[in-house]
Structure 1
Amino acid sequence: MLNNLTRILKSFVGSSTGPGIILIGCVILSLIIANSPLNTYFEAFLNQKIGYESDQLHLNYPILLWINDGLMVVFFLLVGLEIKRELIDGELASPKQAALPILGALGGVLAPALIFTLLNFGKETIAGWATPMATDIAFALAIVTLLGDRVPLSLKVFLAALAIVDDLMAIIVIALFYAAELHYTYLLYAGLIFSLLLVFNRMGIKNLAFYLIPGMVMWYFIHHSGIHATIAGVLTAFTIPVKPGKAKHPPLETLAHFLSKPVNIIIMPIFALANTNITFVDGMVGGLATPLGLGIVLGLFLGKPLGIFSISWLSVKLGICAKPHKAQWKHLWGVGMLAGIGFTMSIFIAVLSFSGDHTLLSEAKFAILSASLLSAAAGALVLHIIAKRQKNNKYQKTANLKANEQHIGAH
């Protein structure tokens, strides 16, 4: 019986939907904890500091920070590896295909910010103008993973690339408009480490230790610079060699394969468990009708897909970009809706915007959660319906072809 249970568990974890189900389960569990007596203990645990502290080295942080800035850098490392692979020899290999997620992300950043600004201009809540700009790449990709082969590979790559560019834009906005203080010395050190990794790549060094160890040092410097440390994962990924050299497999493929399961079944669920803890209070639903609530909900649920779709459509029609392989325009609208899952990145910006006002922060958090759930459900439904219709059309064509063959055979 134990062997059967182990086999079932391995099959579930290894399936395309298993990690997504685990992730959603952790979201639900986190919300249950947040609205129960256990929340006090859970928050105390997340705020517990662990690490090492000295005059020269500062690595003593709350568990929540280790999750968001430490574990999640591994997630961004994996996503960066997948993007690089597609840029070198995949769905983003041509300049026209690579340009689409960049321009789409630009539209997906500008439209929500504009909607929020129009609704909150002249009010104190204008401080949160960047809140609906961000996409939670982890949750957006989890929904796509749950949909399995119903979504073309090119669309999954497009969403991953778009979400990364989106988050990089959000990080730039945070650095320019929300960072209390940037430490340029640490930024310089991080830049030197990144340059060293590029040199290692040019020298043809294939040993992953030469990239991962300096990458961790770069993470430390970026974290202390005032910029969100997860960007270290993307930067490190872009320096990992693609060619195998004397090794059996390319370093990039080896590392991506090694990280895939830990990221999907451990890191992302832990991240969801730690960050979804939103406490529901009276009056939250009414807060969705305020300029702040409407700005966030409409920005994420409507502004995101509208901005991504319109800029993508215009870019393709002008010949600047190429549409993803096997994708239809309605696919891009569905993916645009999934990009409206702002969630943790939006909450992060909301905390920076309204840290001095608990009421506004709670209102913003609930609006983010509501918009993210709406975007996830609507985006998944759109893509599911498209896949179902395509499947039915395929069966219909096959049936018609067989009927024609039988008709010809009868004559």
Structure 2
Amino acid sequence: MNALPNIEDPPPIGQIKRPLPDQPIDRWLRPFARFLHVETTSGILLVLCTVIALIAANSPLAEPFLAIWKTPIQIGIGSLQFNHSLHHVINDGLMAIFFFVIGLEVKRELAHGALASLQQAALPIAAAIGGMVIPAVLYLSIQYGEPGMRGWGIPMATDIAFVVGCLALLGPRVPQSLRVLLLSLAIVDDIGAILVIAIGYTESLDGRYLAVAAFSIGIVHLFSRLGVRRFPPYIVVGAIAWIAMHESGVHATLIGVILGLMTPAKSVLVPERFREYLHEKKEEFDQRRWERKQHRAEVVQEVQRLTRETVSPLEYLEMTLHPWTAYCIMPIFALANAGVAIELSNMTDSVALAVVLGLVIGKPVGIVLFSWVAVRLGWARLPDGISWPVLVSGSCLAGIGFTMALFIDGLAFGADGLDTAKTGVLVGSAISAALGITLLLWTLPKPVTPTDTQTTP
């Protein structure tokens, strides 16, 4: 009998062989899959797409390259017509999925992570508030009363993909507590950026479409309360909510955040019950009985569905969508938005200088200042392994504002954004990355080598 091993007494971890035989395509794709699991990969791809966009925008191919993003996209059903450029579809459509993943990450941290309790959340919240307020104040100190004043939200956000990439370059020297702090700070930062988009960059509202969006969100909540577990109904209602939000005047990407925050963070099927279920089904997969069994596809479908229910919808969707946002949506966004003609006048423009000042100076000053106040007042404490010099060094990395900064630039200065503001984002983010890595190399403890641990006789 070729029955399955006893589920109650499984082989030791690491000794279980892959149940599926290797195929030729597996051998070809395995190095690529390993590369995608490297922590810095998404940051490398984002930098590569940014460089490609910059080279294309400053080459003889600039005109056709920039024209690609103005390609009209038309979708219509009766009197309802959607007619926008490819650039608009990317920034309002694809980025809604990016914001949905942000909503999932925020929900995860609020439910199970570093923001689950006020004691844990106090320091990253204080640091994030400082990292938003001071950059905006510095920007406005230069641009107040000027046409560029609308860009006050540009230097407020942190690009977590680049921050994670920079920390990965430093290897094991970076304490886990610093990683958690910067990731938590970036999550709170994202919440602030979402509020900035909703409040600061919404000019007019259409109450009818806003009501449709609110009704659609209510339907999603009703589905969740009724126990609807299939994704297609949520996708259909979510698409309706996105269209309504788009037409209401509020930026459509916010529907992604709202739906992400509404995603359940608890699984329906507990592991113990699933283990019992597998024990009951074990005999059905006996080779002889399985070959004679009817409706085998239904059994397989049931096992697939129940297996997915052992994790929460939040965890499943985050795992499923994160590769798409990291390796597809964000690189496409960079190609569509980072193409700016590099001119000397852009470097010296007051808007570019205000953005650079906000990112390079405002971010670390705000983070450290508000953190110091929170610790001084007894609201928070520095995590183990983080000294004030290390916090100062790590806070410089928070000045990498690439993705969200370019996104807000488009909201502030029109669909294509302002070249001088984009220049400030690119220059400020590059300086922040170089400064943060350099200071961390200086302030973090040096890695212990085998020779360091040897004792003299």
Give the structure-1-normalised TM-score. Answer: 0.82
The answer on whether the counterparts of 2:173 and 2:446 sit within 8 Å (CA) in structure 1 is no
Instruction: After TM superposition, list the pairs within 5 Å mapping 1:9-158 onto structure 2.
Output: 9-54=32-77, 56-144=79-167, 151-152=174-175, 155-158=178-181
Residues 267, 363 of structure 1: CA spacing in aligned structure 2 closer, same or farther, 3 A cutoff? closer
Q: Which of 366, 374, 391 is the equivalent residue of 2:447? A: 391
Partner of 2:355: 296
Partner of 1:362: 419
1:6 Cα shift? 3.2
Q: Which of 381, 391, 416 is the equivalent residue of 1:332? A: 391
Partner of 2:376: 317
Residue identity in the other structure for 2:399: G
Partner of 2:323: 261
1:45 Cα shift? 1.2
Structure 2 stretches of 5 or more lacking a match? 1-23, 270-308
1:278 Cα shift? 0.9
Q: Which of 235, 255, 276 is the equivalent residue of 2:338? A: 276
SS of the aligned residue for 1:110 comes to helix
Output the CA distance in 2 between the equivalents of 1:42 and 1:151: 40
Q: Deviations over 1:181-219 (max 9, x none)?
A: 222333333233333333444444443444443333222
Q: Bigger shift: 372-381 or 128-137? A: 128-137
Residues 352, 229 of structure 1: CA spacing in aligned structure 2 closer, same or farther, 3 A cutoff? closer
Q: Deviations over 1:267-297 (max 9, x none)?
A: 221121221101112433333xx4x343222
Output the CA distance in 1 between the equivalents of 2:171 and 2:82: 39
Output the CA distance in 2 between the equivalents of 1:98 and 1:384: 27
Output the CA distance in 1 between the equivalents of 2:107 and 2:375: 23
1:104 Cα shift? 2.4
The answer on whether the counterparts of 1:174 and 1:349 sit within 8 Å (CA) in structure 2 is yes
The answer on whether the counterparts of 1:212 and 1:236 sit within 8 Å (CA) in structure 2 is no
Residues 57, 35 of structure 1: CA spacing in aligned structure 2 closer, same or farther, 3 A cutoff? same
Bigger-Rg structure (1/2): 2
Identity %: 40
Structure 1 stretches of 5 or more lacking a match? none
The answer on whether the counterparts of 1:144 and 1:151 sit within 8 Å (CA) in structure 2 is yes
The answer on whether the counterparts of 1:150 and 1:383 sit within 8 Å (CA) in structure 2 is no
Partner of 1:381: 438
Q: Bigger shift: 41-50 or 95-104? A: 95-104
Residues 150, 31 of structure 1: CA spacing in aligned structure 2 closer, same or farther, 3 A cutoff? farther
Residues 166, 186 of structure 1: CA spacing in aligned structure 2 closer, same or farther, 3 A cutoff? farther
1:89 Cα shift? 1.8
Residues 6, 54 of structure 1: CA spacing in aligned structure 2 closer, same or farther, 3 A cutoff? closer
Partner of 2:348: 286
> Do structure 1's residue 250 and structure 2's residue 312 form an aligned pair?
yes
Residues 325, 181 of structure 1: CA spacing in aligned structure 2 closer, same or farther, 3 A cutoff? farther
> Do structure 1's residue 222 and structure 2's residue 245 form an aligned pair?
yes
The answer on whether the counterparts of 2:105 and 2:187 sit within 8 Å (CA) in structure 1 is no
SS of the aligned residue for 2:345 comes to coil
Output the CA distance in 2 between the equivalents of 1:9 and 1:250: 28
Output the CA distance in 2 between the equivalents of 1:39 and 1:326: 48
Q: Which has the higher helix share?
A: 1
1:40 Cα shift? 1.2
Output the CA distance in 1 between the equivalents of 2:263 and 2:149: 41
Output the CA distance in 2 between the equivalents of 1:248 and 1:44: 47
1:124 Cα shift? 4.6
Output the CA distance in 2 between the equivalents of 1:52 and 1:145: 43
Residue identity in the other structure for 1:60: N
1:167 Cα shift? 4.3
Output the CA distance in 2 between the equivalents of 1:149 and 1:62: 45
